[in-house]
Amino acid sequence: MIYYTRTLVPIRTSYLLANSIIESQLPMSNHEHSDFAHVLNIAAIAARTQALGPGTRAVVWVQGCSFHCPGCLAPKWIPFVPAMELTPQAILEKLDLDRISGMTFSGGEPMEQAAGLAALTRLARQKKNLDLICFTGYRYERLLNNPPNSGVAELLAEVDVLVDGPFVQALNDSVGLRGSSNQRVLHLTSKLRGHNFESHTRNIEITITDGELAFIGIPTPGLLSAMRSVTFADIERTE
């Protein structure tokens, strides 16, 4: 939803131990067994960014979304097609835990892969007490009362801030850590309650890697239109 890429040149698209012998002999809990068994379908990973929440954080975007919101900011990530198929441990190895204070999950629709993302969060928090922000097109009440799958409760138990509701293009008011004003910022824990998510100025990070222009963040409508019109010649003229 909040990661846009545009290929600028015609090249191949690139997508984006136990501490002691005694501890190693202890039986693993059910969660610990299952946390290594999941395989997630991942659209992209940012090891570090300051554009999608407070501090420096990692972002994981999942592939696949059932909402098909008109004007979706990441339409390539709507289809349920194979992307990067990774275990939670493999994703964790791509993150820079020493230099981040939190994680953000987006997509795609994170709740479609809730159990695997919950497993990723538990594994990460075994190493560092990270905060977690999660975007979802579902309303929180729906997730509680009629969840789309059995893993939703596991993921909600890990989330500190939930940004809920579908993206509505006409309600993109260019402020806050949500794509449109109908979406809510819900504090499920007190960990990030001191941050103003609703009205802070949006930050955008722009990168050019192997001929592909990408941004991380929630763009204003004007910026999104400008980004979609950029050509490789425009980039060359600014250098």
**Of the candidates 163, 168, 149, 4, the residue with the CA atom closest to the CA atom of residue 73:** 4
**Would you state the pLDDT for residue 119?**
98
Is the entire prediction scored with pTM above 0.85? no
Residue 224, pLDDT score: 65
Please provide the size of the chain in residues: 239
User: What pLDDT score was predicted for residue 187?
Assistant: 97
pLDDT for 34 = 65
Q: Where are the domains of the chain?
A: 30-205+213-238
Question: In the prediction, which pLDDT does 208 show?
Answer: 77
CA distances from 205 to 46, 170, 202, 223 (A): 11, 23, 10, 12
DSSP 170: G
Show Cβ contacts of residue 129 under 8 Å, excluding neighbours closer than 6 positions. Answer: none
The pLDDT of residue 211 is: 72
Splitting the chain (239 residues) into consecutive groups of 10 residues, what average pLDDT does each group show?
40 30 38 75 95 95 96 92 97 97 97 98 98 98 98 98 96 90 96 89 80 79 66 47
Tokens read off for 25: 């002999």
Q: Under CATH, which number does the domain 30-205+213-238 receive? A: 3.20.20
Which letter does DSSP use for residue 171 in this model?
Answer: G
**Coil/strand/helix, residue 147:** coil
Compute CA distances 162 → 86, 106, 111, 143, 222, whole Å: 24, 11, 11, 11, 26
Distance of alpha carbon 161 from alpha carbon 143, whole angstroms: 14
